[in-house]
């Protein structure tokens, strides 16, 4: 397969039949060898972490498909770290949408004067630009429109999908007595239909999950979820 | 008079008759001795800059009063660096509202991947929390409501006042062939009436003004405006 794009934790490949596939690498975001889904750089490499992230992603994408929530997911080949996806275009140079149930991470670093660590945030949604050079800045609905990145209608659709997807993941985790603190989603537009789709992955790499007082590690998430 | 609060460029005093006064100091925001209204620290001290900022503030506040735009301004005693103001409460620990006509400063530092330096922003409004420790973080309308800082109705009122005030300042400057790039406003609630009022100052200390291609210094702003 041809490599179209090399990402931090995944590469985008094109099969000779034209289909698009994500290759889940064993690189994880974090800092100084410590895993952190809130970090924006590769911090460690762990054998089998790509396969594990793909197995968890497959589980969640299949739940979303059952609920008819539109995603780019087509099929997963877990043993080969490959997920086939629909071709999409992204918004601007890419946006990330965060849904927060508990006040942790960058929310506390910004709003700690007004919030207690761990307080309920009821699925508060915010958007960042994918821009390593500028540390993925937060951006308002108004600025997204001003800069031609999202129309108001697209923003509303993405906000609604983010709530539906995040609530689905939260409910799935709750059935395993796990708690979702926050989750970071990406969206694109289906190149064929123009529909807005959830893209990227759905694994420990883009969510903070707790069991009681303790953060759940990526491999433990797979174990709790898939047995 | 009794000092109630010592700020970076102004102190808040209470007269023995109970009235509240701002004392405009000769300290200016900036870095390494260079004036910058976008900075969040005192960078230099210049004799007469407090009096000059007050003279300019008086000019703008009087224009706003003529237009019946609600402000905390009561009276200015320019020779003594004192402005009498109405007593107010602030929102949370204080918010700042920025109205942008040209893309410069922190807008470019965050959104430079999508904007050209100096491009028109048509009076785009955004809000920051006054929080030195956390570098005055930007905050969305939704988070302001979530954290109990502003109701949606208060946000709408502040957004409308910000546009009216900023447009008034922009028009006044345009009459002197000066151009307003951006302006940072503060708001409070009148302790008596509960009305939302413009507070703080209106001078080179909280706006970026250009003459042609060149930034206008605080003393030059006074000279151009007041002759």
Q: Which residue has the tokens 């039949």?
A: A17
A138: chain B residues, CB-CB within 8 Å: 138, 140
Q: Could you give the CA distance from residue B222 to residue B178 in angstroms, rounded to a whole number? A: 12
Cβ contact B51:B204 at 8 Å: no
| B149 touching A (Cβ < 8 Å) | yes
* DSSP 8-state secondary structure symbol assigned to residue B135: T
A92: chain B residues, CB-CB within 8 Å: 113-114
- HEC assignment per residue over chain A: CEEEEECCCEEEEECCCCCEEEEECCEEEEECCEECCCCCCEEEECCCHHHHHHHHHHHHHHHHHHCCCCECEEEEEHHHCEEEECCEEECCCCEEEEEEEECCHHHHHHHCCCCCCCCEEEEEEEEEECCHHHCCCEECHHHHHHCCCCCHHHHHHHHHHHHHHHHHHHHHHHHCCCEEEEEEEEEEEECCCCCEEEECCCCHHHEEEEECCEECCHHHHHHHHHC
Distances (CA, A) of A7 to A26, A209, B172: 12, 24, 50
Distances (CA, A) of A39 to A8, A11, A138: 11, 18, 15
Residue A185 has pLDDT above 90, yes or no: yes
Q: What is the pLDDT along chain B (227 residues), one digit of tens a residue?
A: 999 999 999 999 999 999 999 999 999 998 888 888 888 889 899 999 999 999 999 999 999 999 999 999 999 999 999 999 999 999 999 999 999 999 999 999 999 999 999 999 999 999 999 999 999 999 999 999 999 999 999 999 999 999 999 999 999 999 999 999 999 999 999 999 999 999 999 999 999 999 999 999 999 999 999 98
> Is B121 in Cβ contact with A111 (below 8 Å)?
no
Q: Which residue has the tokens 């807008």?
A: B107
| A34 touching B (Cβ < 8 Å) | no
Provide the ipTM.
0.91
Instruction: Provide the pLDDT confidence category of residue A191 given band limits of 50, 70 and 90.
Output: very high
Tens-place pLDDT, residues A100-158: 999 999 999 999 999 999 999 999 999 999 999 999 999 999 999 999 999 999 999 99
A109: chain B residues, CB-CB within 8 Å: 134
Q: Could you give the CA distance from residue B57 to residue B78 in angstroms, rounded to a whole number? A: 10
Instruction: Provide the pLDDT confidence category of residue A38 given band limits of 50, 70 and 90.
Output: confident
Instruction: Provide the pLDDT confidence category of residue A219 given band limits of 50, 70 and 90.
Output: very high
For residue B31, how many other CB atoms are within 10 A of its CB? 14
Share of chain A above pLDDT 90, in %: 92
pTM, two decimals, is: 0.93
Q: Phi/psi at B220 (nearest 5 deg)?
A: -65, -35
As a whole number, mean pLDDT of residues A69-79 equals 97
A139: chain B residues, CB-CB within 8 Å: 110-111
Interface of A with B in 84-143 (CB under 8 A): 92-93, 109-115, 121-122, 124-126, 129, 131, 133-134, 137-143
- B81: closest CA of chain A, how far (Å): 32
Q: Could you give the CA distance from residue A119 to residue A121 in angstroms, rounded to a whole number? A: 6
Cβ contact A85:A12 at 8 Å: no
- Which of A122, A133, A147 comes nearest B115 by C-beta? A147
At CB < 8 A and 24+ separation, what contacts does B160-167 make? B161/B69, B161/B70, B161/B187, B161/B196, B161/B198, B162/B97, B162/B99, B162/B125, B163/B99, B163/B123, B163/B125, B164/B67, B164/B69, B165/B64, B165/B69, B165/B99, B165/B198, B165/B202, B166/B99, B166/B101, B166/B123, B167/B123
Q: What is the pLDDT of residue B40?
A: 83
First-to-last alpha carbon distance for chain A, in angstroms, is 32
Give the helix/strand (H/E) hosting B103: none
Q: Could you give the CA distance from residue A75 to residue A8 in angstroms, rounded to a whole number? A: 22
Q: Could you give the CA distance from residue B103 to residue B116 in angstroms, rounded to a whole number? A: 7
CA dihedral angle for residue A189, residue A194, residue A197, residue A201, rounded to 10 degrees: -40
Tens-place pLDDT, residues B170-215: 999 999 999 999 999 999 999 999 999 999 999 999 999 999 999 9
Share of chain A above pLDDT 70, in %: 100
Instruction: Give Cα A25 distance to the centre of its chain.
Output: 15
- Which of A134, A140, A141 comes nearest B113 by C-beta? A134
Three-state DSSP state, B149: coil
Q: What is the pLDDT of residue A33?
A: 87
Q: What is the pLDDT of residue A207?
A: 97
- Which of A122, A126, A137 comes nearest B111 by C-beta? A137
Three-state DSSP state, B162: helix
List the structure tokens of B118.
């100096």
B-interface mutation test, from A95, A102, A110, A115, most B Cβ less than 10 A away: A110
Cβ contact A208:A37 at 8 Å: yes
As a whole number, mean pLDDT of residues A49-53 equals 96
| B175 touching A (Cβ < 8 Å) | no
B92: chain A residues, CB-CB within 8 Å: 113-114
Q: Could you give the CA distance from residue B179 to residue A52 in angstroms, rounded to a whole number? A: 57
Q: What is the pLDDT of residue B32?
A: 87
List the structure tokens of A103.
């006040």
B124: chain A residues, CB-CB within 8 Å: 142-143, 146
Q: Which residue has the tokens 């009276």?
A: B75
A93: chain B residues, CB-CB within 8 Å: 113-114
Q: Which domains does chain B have, with CATH numbers?
A: 2-87 (3.30.200.20), 89-217 (3.30.470.20)
Cβ contact B91:B149 at 8 Å: yes
> Is B126 in Cβ contact with A113 (below 8 Å)?
no
Q: Which residue has the tokens 């002197």?
A: B176
Cβ contact A97:A184 at 8 Å: yes
| A148 touching B (Cβ < 8 Å) | yes
As a whole number, mean pLDDT of residues A175-186 equals 98
Cβ contact B163:B155 at 8 Å: no
| B178 touching A (Cβ < 8 Å) | no
Q: Could you give the CA distance from residue A41 to residue A39 in angstroms, rounded to a whole number? A: 6
């Amino acid at each position: 397969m041809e490599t179209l794009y090399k990402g931090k934790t995944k590469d985008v490949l094109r099969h000779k039949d034209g289909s698009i596939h994500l290759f889940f690498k064993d690189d994880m975001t974090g800092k100084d060898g410590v895993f952190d889904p809130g970090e924006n750089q590769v911090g460690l490499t762990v054998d089998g972490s790509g396969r594990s992230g793909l197995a968890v992603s497959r589980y969640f994408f299949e739940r979303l498909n059952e609920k008819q929530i539109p995603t780019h997911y087509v099929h997963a080949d877990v043993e080969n770290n490959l997920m086939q996806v629909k071709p999409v275009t992204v918004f601007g140079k890419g946006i990330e949408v965060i849904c927060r149930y508990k006040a942790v991470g960058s929310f506390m670093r910004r709003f700690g004067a007004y919030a207690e660590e761990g307080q309920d945030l009821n699925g508060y949604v915010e958007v960042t630009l994918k821009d390593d050079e500028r540390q993925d800045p937060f951006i308002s609905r108004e600025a997204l429109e001003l800069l031609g990145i999202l129309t108001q209608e697209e923003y509303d659709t993405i906000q609604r999908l983010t709530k539906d997807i995040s609530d689905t993941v939260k409910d799935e985790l709750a059935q395993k007595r796990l708690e979702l603190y926050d989750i970071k989603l990406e969206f694109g537009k289906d190149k064929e239909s123009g529909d807005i789709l959830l893209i990227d992955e759905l694994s420990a790499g883009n969510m903070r999950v707790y069991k009681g007082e303790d953060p759940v590690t990526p491999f433990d998430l797979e174990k709790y979820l898939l047995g």
